[in-house]
Structure 1
Amino acid sequence: MWKILIIDDDFQVLEGMKKAIPWEAIDAEFAGEASDGAEGLDMIQSTQPDIVITDIYMPVMNGLEMIEKLREANFPGEIIILSGYTDFQYARQALRLQVSDYLSKPVTVDELRTVLEKVIKELEAKELIKMEQEDIRNKLMLYEPFGQQEWLKSVITGTSRVAGLSPPPTEQQHWIHRNHLVMGIELMSTIRTANLSLIDWNLFRFALANIIQEILSEDWPESDFIELHSHHAAIMFHIERSESNDSALSRIQTIGSRITDCVLMYLKLNIRIGLGQMKPTWQEISDSTEEAFLDLLQQTITPQLGKPSSLPPHLAIRPIKFYQELAEAIVYSKEETAAQIVDAYIHQLQQMPTITPAYLQHLCTELWTIFAYSLYSVGTVLDELFPDMHLPSEIRRIETATHLQDWLRAKIHIIATSRHWNENSKHKEAVDFMIQYAHDHYAEEISLEDMSKQLYLSRNYLNQIFKKSTGETFTNYLIQVRMKKAQALLAEGKHLIYEISEKVGYKNVPYFSSIFKKYTGMSPSEVGKNG
């Protein structure tokens, strides 16, 4: 309830006000009373009212002096002056002190109720802004780890040009004076995992991450665990330069064995561990990542061939970076980009002296798993796009890099066109929903996060599909809707600028005016005059 304090040296006025205010109707309560400004200051400090109704002329300290002291103390509540003095000088001084309203005695019950309802509405707006600001602060704190995770993923996969990456965040400053080694982790496919739904697969990944992070917290706290694609993950070990390479490697191998044993014990799943080389700088971490996953690849292919793999030890291709970039292109239906990524990778493969069918077929299997997992995250089930496909048969026919290129291009085309923007696409429905929502709710606070929950698609993904469909970000589109409505309201000539600002979703009038001028080239007042 809103607390109201009344300050007046006239006892009859005090009693009359207490009876006249419709306390229950406006959800308010009586906070107390005072007969002069000095007493009023003490009462305000002790009761912390939301609204102060005060007279001007009172003994000891008049109302304007009291208000001035309240403003100096940053009093957050609203102030209403109720005075028998109608002198313009008093009103002007009250305006300078930013009082909410100036009423002349005697005041009617209807006038009092109207003013109090208006002031309470202003208080509600302030409270809402305060809550929104707190919510933004909480979200920033919540999203901070995700931003850090994206930075870590860029470092470990090399998907951003390392030279262009910003230095490590504060939490990673110790990296600069450490050596680094990456452990690649592969969750191996078994009969049990082959029949898992993607939801169950996600649960296993979550459990796997918990086990690994718990072991790392005990055995090597200065490390980072990063989830990659579907059945891949990695650990970055940051190593004191005073420790010998042999000692560090021995301890890391022990941790790898412990992780493998725990995952088998608790999840009944098998994982495979690959290790990269020690690197002296954080900019080289992605090189260690590739070495770790090439180690995994070597372990995968050798049993298939029954002899040591023919993969050259100096293999320069970066499969983890390739996986990451291709998965992102697939998720956002960027067929042309995906095709370019495939062509560039195939070109690299073709420069190598020997690439075995076993390696190419392994690559197909890896990519198919990654596609399925990535598409599922945005609501598409890969198997439904290829209902009659027999994946093992198709993979066995891949014997050359050109076969792989053709196979990937064909699959990507089907995926991209099946998810394209047409009248029956759920993405078109999502965009239509967002457009309609902007037109229906432009006067409200609209959160892309709230819409993402309604549509079961991620916030970033919604922004991507909206921009692809309309050519605008959702934020810019919403501003356009609001500005067109503001122009229409100004043309009517029935509303003040602050009223129009509120009607189109802006509580801050100066901010509304700056946006309006940026959009139309004129300020709202200029448009109003011309209208």
Structure 2
Amino acid sequence: MRLLYVEDERLIRESVAKQIQKMFPLEVFTACHGEEGLELFKKYKPEIVLTDIRMPVCDGLEMTRQIRELSQDTIIVIVTAYADFEYARTALQYQVHDFLIKPITIKSVQETVCELIEMVKVKNMDRDNKLQIQISDMLHGLISSESLFWKKQVILSGCRIQEYQKIGGFTPSDSGLILYAVKNIIEELLEVKQQKIQYCLISESYNMFYLIFYTEYFHSTMQTQQIEYQIKKLCEEMVDVLENNLFLPIAHIETGFFDGRDLYSKYLEVEQCMENDRTNQHMIIQMKDAKLEEERIIYALWKDKKFDQVAEKLVLYFNKTNSIQERQNLMIRLSYYLYIAMNEEKGEKQLIFKEFYDSFPKIKREFSEMEIAVRTTETLKKLTEKMEKMEKKILHPVIYNIQKDIRDNYSEVKLLKDYAKKYNINATYLSELFVKECGKTFSDIVTDIKMDKAKNMLNEPDARVYEVAVKLGYHDGRYFSQLFKRCTGMTPKEFQKRCDKYE
């Protein structure tokens, strides 16, 4: 943290600066007039400025005005005599935080600087939290990444904790502690590797998190490649620490550098690899290129057990090509989509992806599209029977009752602490219980329930999107539409059009 002290009296300037450095862990810069102070401000960007008013060359008010044009966040305190106080009041229009009346004492300086340091910490925390939320919304496609990541190159790394081994002593409820460890590891490694790299850590669930590394475009291809190598090496070192020091086996995947404006589409690609246990395979569904309309239709028919129509659609689906490899790729893409759609519908994973994918037929040269369609349809029938026989997970009674409360009154969902009070349970423990029982946070469960309700409402004839949003407790229709798309891959309008096709 840095402080700039501007004072034309040399003895006062040196004495006060020395006392501040002795009392606080600050970098202190001094200037003898406003012009010199402004140059130092431009060079070092201090968070705190203490300045006298009456000085030669450029006075404190003019310097304050110019500093405010450069930064709205800098905290400025005016040091003034009683005689100049009315004059100093004009500085209020420049959002000056406070005034120190001369002659200043060591105690008044200590109290003021102590207060200012705390203010800077709060401001930094607030700024970091806002940035974290903004980047999270960009990652999930809720807002455009154009403003923040224009002319920036980004690397996205997805990390999933495979299991919580007993040897490490961690459980899913320790996810916050693990993320804290990850942040410390990254910051330590970044300091060694490259100062130009910025990053953001986004928690997706108790066992999934994303790291977004971003930097400015470089004219030199070699420099870009060097920084990309450094980031990938950094990720490898982070995973090594988590696995060997914390005993947490990690599946991870990272992209190369891409245009920051493509953040959401890259997130979809990485998410599918991480969620579907295919981190070691290179084929990724390009969501931005494939509309997946045929896969949606096949899933809807499978869900309704219309297997004859499923077979008909599959014949057309595999009739696009005679290539064995391309047909196998179509099978991979179809199984991907069906697995994701099934889990969204059920709200929990009943099968791991490998088990799900391995049940589909492997394409052979002698298979016609009709035979592939018949074999795939038989697979879907068996999967339906298998899932129907699976016993539903018995939830903790408190979690069950809270979910019932949310479904019964989805337009006015209470805060977690309110449900904790209702059922006489500690709020922190309840939060951990949601993750343990459901594999999701309380807010994720609320969103899932509301989105299921939204689907039912949008299926109704003449349903209007904004009315559905209001009924669900969302007073911002645009936010509801963005959230619905994030959860389903479609806007409410697209979902309604798709439903119309199936009727």
TM bucket, shorter chain = 0.3 to 0.5
Larger Rg: 1
Structure possessing the higher relative contact order (Cα contacts under 8 Å, 6 or more residues apart): 2
Q: Provide TM-score, normalisation by structure 1.
A: 0.40
Task: State the TM-score, normalized to the length of structure 2.
Answer: 0.42
